[in-house]
Amino acid sequence: MTNRADTIAALRARLSVMDRIRAPAGQEALSLGLAALDGALAGGGLVRGGLHEFLGEAADAAPHGFVASLLARLPAAAGPVLWCRLPPPDAPADKPYAPGLVCLGADPDRLILARPRTLEDALWVLEEALRCPRLGAVVGDGIAPPPVAGRRLQLAAEEGGMLGLLILPPQGRPPPSTALTRWRVRALPDRPGEGDWGRPCWQVDLLRARGGGRMGVAADSGTWKVVWDDAAFRLHLVEPLADGPVAAAE
């Protein structure tokens, strides 16, 4: 019996790797930097070989900030990061700003910026980049792939074993997708204390995750308030203090 249970367990483990729920042996998922967030994911972090989506509000750089803090956690040997930014059609043009990345611990020298003109070009860039094994990660910023294109991107990421991070443009109801995880990141007000001014402070919601939770916490969703500590260059969890101002960190 035990033998059979072992076999089933082994098969499950293999299946979960094939489903990109867990990272394959010898490879680690990209930790989000907080045990609570990592714990909500079966893989213990963002698994390579798939897409991870981040939703945000209009004219809010909170999801960008969260993604940048993830990029800062990529090992230097992972290779450069391709950041493909499609400016929103109905808002003033903006671009990722390297000094801002520095503030979040990411190294702009490892960044390659692509600025396609059309959604078609942007999807093509993402697909090509996701297939390239020499990149550390691919960020699709402001790109909402239609369902078929989303599936194509997911397959490309699986083929290249690439970490794809999609920052979706703000939209009323995000379409269903094949991405491995989906997050919503929103800015939270933070009060400047003595001698410093507000720190980046976000509410991070895990909307869905393939494979569900690992530690029994929040089966496949959860809500956390996090704050960026620019002294330690890492995220801290904020205790949910009703709706009050963020007072203490972790």
Partner 1 sequence: MLPGQGGIRLHAVNALASADGLSVGMLLADARALCPTLAAPPADPAGDRAELGRLALWAQRYTPQATSDGADGLVLDITGCAHLWNGEAGLLADLSQRLRRAGLTHRLALTDSPAAAWGWARHRPAGADEILPSGRAAWEALLALPLAALRLDAELTADLARVGLQRVADLHRLPRAPLTTRYGTAPARRLDRLLGLGAEPVAPQARPPQWQARLPLAEPIFTRDAIDTGLERLLRDLCQQLEAGGRGARRLELLLVRSDASQQTLALGTGQPLRDVSILKRLFRERLDQAEPGFGIEMMLLTATVTDRFTASQTALGSGDAFALTFLLDRLCNRLGPDRIGPPLAEDEHQPERAMGFASGGMGGQNAASPVAEISKSVVPISTVTPAQAGVQGPQALCSMNLDPGRSMGDGGVCEGGDERRGQGEINNTPTPWPKAQPRAHTPRPRTWQVEAPRPLLLLDPPEPVEKPEAAALVWRGRRHGVDWMEGPERIRPDWWRARPGTGRDYFRLQLADGRRLWLFRTAEEVPRWFLHGLFP
Residues engaged in binding partner 1 (CB under 8 A):
57, 59-62, 64-66, 68, 79-80, 91-104, 108-109, 111-117, 121, 124-125, 128-129, 132-135, 186-192, 197-198, 200-202, 228, 230
The label of the residue with tokens 């702009």 reads 108
Three-state secondary structure call for residue 124: helix
Shortest Cβ distance from residue 208 to partner 1 (Å)?
Answer: 23
Give min distance, CB of 104 to partner 1, in A. Answer: 7
Smallest distance, Å, CB 24 to partner 1? 18
3-state secondary structure of 84: strand
Q: Which is nearer to partner 1, 19 or 94 (CB)?
A: 94
CB 132 within 8 A of CB 160: yes
Q: Which is nearer to partner 1, 115 or 151 (CB)?
A: 115
Q: Nearest approach, Cβ of 228 to partner 1 (angstroms)?
A: 7
Judged by beta carbon, residue 47 or residue 201, the one nearer partner 1 is 201
| Whole-number Å distance between alpha carbons of 240 and 125 | 40
Min separation Cβ 56 and partner 1, Å: 10
Q: Which are the contacts of 136, defined by CB distance < 8 A and separation ≥ 6?
A: 71, 74, 75, 78, 79, 80, 81, 110, 163
| CB nearer partner 1, residue 21 or residue 129 | 129
Neighbours of 25 (CB within 10 A): 8
Closest CA to 55 of 66, 40, 43: 66
> Is residue 77 helix, strand or coil?
helix
Radius of gyration from C-alpha coordinates of the chain:
18
Considering the complex, state which of residue 13 and residue 119 has its C-beta at the smaller distance from partner 1: 119
